[in-house]
Structure 1
Amino acid sequence: DENAKVRWMMPGMILSRSQGGTFHYAGCGCTGQVPRLPSLVDAGVLKEDCTHRRLRVLYLVPHHNLTGGMKMLVQQMAILTQRGHHVIAAFRAAHGRVLPPWAESLVVASEMLISPSETYECFLRRTRRHWDVCAVGYFTQLAELDNFWGPLLYWEQGHEHLFAEGRDAQTLRWDLLFHHTMLRTPVALAAVSSYTAETLALQFSRRCAVIPNGIDCTTFYPANQLDSDSVSPDGSRPNAFGGNVPTKPDGTATLGAGWRVLLVGNPMQAFKGWDVALEALRIVSASIPELVVTWICQQQPTLPALPYPVQFIVDPPQSQLPDCYRTDQDLLLFTSRFEAWGMPVLEAMASGLPAITSSCYGVEHFAIDRQNCLLVPARDVAAVAAAVIELLRDGTLRYALAVRGRQTALDFSLKKAGDALEGALLRTSSFFSRMSWQQAMDLV
């Protein structure tokens, strides 16, 4: 298909989807040709039968860091276990835990430590009779699997290289590796969002199914029941989502010590746009001096002098995270430059907390401006500040976004995510069970 081929434009430049841009560049290692063997895998897996059966699923755990991507891998293992599949978790380390220490509630069928001296390819060959399909946790692991032909599924959840960033001296080699694995490694792919799937198709001619994130709406839920039929014109209905009570058209608060804005994420990750958030809130505080900011983060940053207080919730247990969303907050502010998904936005929606989010690609899989959130341009301090002021002063809008956000979250259930995950694993296992390496090479 001519339209599926990689499009080449200016080296090192990425444009918007509507402009059909590219992030290939001189030296990225790509040839401009459709990858024949990976394309064969894509086509075969997508049309494969996915008749339900119990699977033995091996997860290659990439690291123990508390990241959104790692949280979703843990969630997947839990979903598959609950559905009766035999889940095996493997982690490369000399000793210690296989699963992250913060995933205390996850129990899998078995755990395996991989020796630091053993490659992933050798480990998979050695243990092949014990599993039906392997879920690869991160693209860097694929570097050791170039020569492995078997039922591997890589779920692309996003990273800086998917958005044409990460090309400084320290991270350039990982960018080159990402290009290499997408065009050379015969692994089945899945994407977390429609944007991610479109990017893999446009930049690498890779086709894949979408496995969306899901959220447990029995864990993330509003402080009180949301009822869209009981909103008065001036927004005077008592706040049902855990923040202040608007009593006038201008949103004057009568409870608490000011208006509360929630930030969620790692302050060490600059792409999250913390500089934009903090500067926008500086502007907001000039109009709304009662502003109070809460920041849920993995480690507490050192901040410059700010005209508003910032209260930190550092590394809370994952079991306590839902309470942080629904307790005394008025809105979530999310200002990433890029995301393949943007899980804090969906967590806020599930909790009945209205959200302001930047237009950071993947989040638009579920976020719709003025329907279930406010969308603002990434990096635009003035637009962010204006949106925060508008939402804090408009009780009716806050409540409407809370209601519709909750409805959105209910649409992204764990069942929906589990069905998509199960289907991708079943198709991957089935395709590789009937297609040998030699048969594949004869076809390409």
Structure 2
Amino acid sequence: MKIVFPVLSLEMGGGARFIYHLANALFDKGHDVEVVMPEKGLQVWPLRTKLRRVKELTPASIPSADFILPNFYLTVKPAWESRKGRVVRLSLGYEPLWVPESQIAKQTYLIGAPIMSISQWHRHLLLQETGLQSTVISGGVDTSTFRPYPKLSAQTGRKNIFYIMRDPTSGYTWKGGSEFLQAVTHLREKINFELTVSIPESAQFASPVPCRIKTSTTDQELAQLYAEADLFVYTSYFEAFGLPPLEAMACGTAVVTTDCGGNRDYVSNGENCLLVPPSDIDQLSSAIYHLLTQDTERHRLASSGHHFAQAWTWRRTADQVETFLLSLK
């Protein structure tokens, strides 16, 4: 099949990483895959597929294909009006929850195109907000890259927490960064630990506790940060899927995560992670403290999570997409 992904950019962030992993996995299965992106769009993630640079994303710039998979709401109109192939809406998150043009974003779901969602929670949300059914495809993890590495604490003697800080000024107001900082500030009075923070947007960041600030521009760099840590913490209020906790599990690192919706497809409290309510600083602090001080429990959750993550491959995701698209022919 010829499959086209119209995108605005492939910058930092889970949505861009989802697209590039999925596009590459479909290419590896033998499909003719092409990503179409404006000249000004930044590309961080490597593609094995064709990449077509266009002046801007318009109906005329979309190539003919069996299927066109727009994802972000601004890519839907040019794909739909191009009439160059069957449009299937790939929803990586319900945009009206956070974009200013909420009604315009909602209308992109009501055009009559089949919809792919990325978790059961996401599917229910789309049904609730639009009245439309969608087909779930799951996120994945590249276990050849996201794998265990030696822990930094084996050298330092101090447990290491890893956190990905998204910049609220860039629109990431639902990621729970302030709650995380409050939690680790409280914990600093009880226990000695090291903190590593990755800032994908390279934004200015002032930590209330000493920390090592890193930027990760490749999956390899990100995987090493996950794997070197003893604990990965995730604090989103809501996510359509949420790749980071699954990636941390694949790296053999224990996870504390909020119950943010989409991750319910792969998290199990007390089995492969500790799950806490969003915005609950007390429970978040308690969970982090528990795993920093209980080595046996932390190792058990890390081992269970690593084992669990092995089945969640991008090949599996590509298989799900392929099956759905073939059912539409």
TM-score (norm 2): 0.91
Q: Is the 8 A contact 2:13 2:200 kept in 1?
A: no
Q: Which residue of 2 aligns with 1:115?
A: 55
Deviation at 1:336, TM superposition (A): 0.8
- Superposition pairs of residues 71-220 of structure 1, within 5 angstroms: 71-93=17-39, 100-104=42-46, 106-108=47-49, 110-116=50-56, 119-120=58-59, 122-124=60-62, 127-128=63-64, 131-144=65-78, 150-159=85-94, 161=96, 164-166=97-99, 171=100, 174-183=101-110, 185-220=111-146
Q: Which residue of 1 aligns with 2:244?
A: 344
Deviation at 1:368, TM superposition (A): 1.0
Deviation at 1:399, TM superposition (A): 1.0
- Superposition pairs of residues 278-297 of structure 1, within 5 angstroms: 278-288=181-191, 290-297=192-199
Segments of 5+ residues of structure 1 without an aligned counterpart are: 1-54, 224-240, 246-254, 431-444
Q: Is the 8 A contact 1:62 1:137 kept in 2?
A: no
Deviation at 1:211, TM superposition (A): 1.0
- The letter of the residue matching 1:193 is S
Deviation at 1:180, TM superposition (A): 1.3
Q: Does 1:270 align with 2:173?
A: yes
Match of 1:91, SS state, is strand
Segments of 5+ residues of structure 2 without an aligned counterpart are: none
CA gap of 1:152–1:342, structure 2 versus 1, over 3 A, is same
CA gap of 1:85–1:119, structure 2 versus 1, over 3 A, is same
Matched-pair identity in % = 22
Q: Is the 8 A contact 2:164 2:198 kept in 1?
A: yes
Match of 1:90, SS state, is strand
Deviation at 1:165, TM superposition (A): 4.3
Deviation at 1:69, TM superposition (A): 0.6
> C-alpha separation between the residues in 2 aligned to 1:415 and 1:312?
33
> C-alpha separation between the residues in 1 aligned to 2:112 and 2:205?
45
Q: Does 1:298 align with 2:224?
A: no
- The letter of the residue matching 2:144 is T
- The letter of the residue matching 1:61 is V
> C-alpha separation between the residues in 2 aligned to 1:256 and 1:159?
42
- Superposition pairs of residues 344-423 of structure 1, within 5 angstroms: 344-423=244-323
> C-alpha separation between the residues in 2 aligned to 1:175 and 1:353?
37
> C-alpha separation between the residues in 2 aligned to 1:347 and 1:382?
25
> C-alpha separation between the residues in 2 aligned to 1:280 and 1:193?
28
Deviation at 1:410, TM superposition (A): 1.1
- The letter of the residue matching 1:295 is V
Match of 2:69, SS state, is strand
> C-alpha separation between the residues in 2 aligned to 1:297 and 1:317?
13
> C-alpha separation between the residues in 1 aligned to 2:241 and 2:156?
33
Deviation at 1:145, TM superposition (A): 5.1
- The letter of the residue matching 1:298 is P
Q: Which residue of 2 aligns with 1:60?
A: 6
> C-alpha separation between the residues in 2 aligned to 1:92 and 1:214?
27
Bigger Cα Rg: 1
Q: Which residue of 2 aligns with 1:46?
A: none
After superposition, what is the alpha-carbon deviation per residue over 1:317-367, rounded to whole angstroms, capped at 9, x for unaligned? 33322112112x110011111111111100100001000001111111111
Q: Is the 8 A contact 2:80 2:87 kept in 1?
A: no
CA gap of 1:82–1:272, structure 2 versus 1, over 3 A, is same
TM-score (norm 1): 0.69
Deviation at 1:189, TM superposition (A): 0.7
The root-mean-square deviation of aligned C-alpha atoms, in Å, is: 2.1
Q: Is the 8 A contact 1:222 1:351 kept in 2?
A: yes
Q: Which residue of 2 aligns with 1:252?
A: none
> C-alpha separation between the residues in 2 aligned to 1:77 and 1:165?
25
Deviation at 1:92, TM superposition (A): 2.5
- The letter of the residue matching 1:179 is K
Match of 1:103, SS state, is coil
> C-alpha separation between the residues in 1 aligned to 2:278 and 2:95?
15
Equivalent residues, number? 325
Q: Is the 8 A contact 2:158 2:193 kept in 1?
A: yes
> C-alpha separation between the residues in 2 aligned to 1:346 and 1:304?
27
Deviation at 1:56, TM superposition (A): 1.1
CA gap of 1:381–1:87, structure 2 versus 1, over 3 A, is same
Q: Is the 8 A contact 2:237 2:258 kept in 1?
A: yes
Deviation at 1:70, TM superposition (A): 0.5
After superposition, what is the alpha-carbon deviation per residue over 1:348-389, rounded to whole angstroms, capped at 9, x for unaligned? 000010000011111111111111100101011111111111
Q: Does 1:312 align with 2:238?
A: no
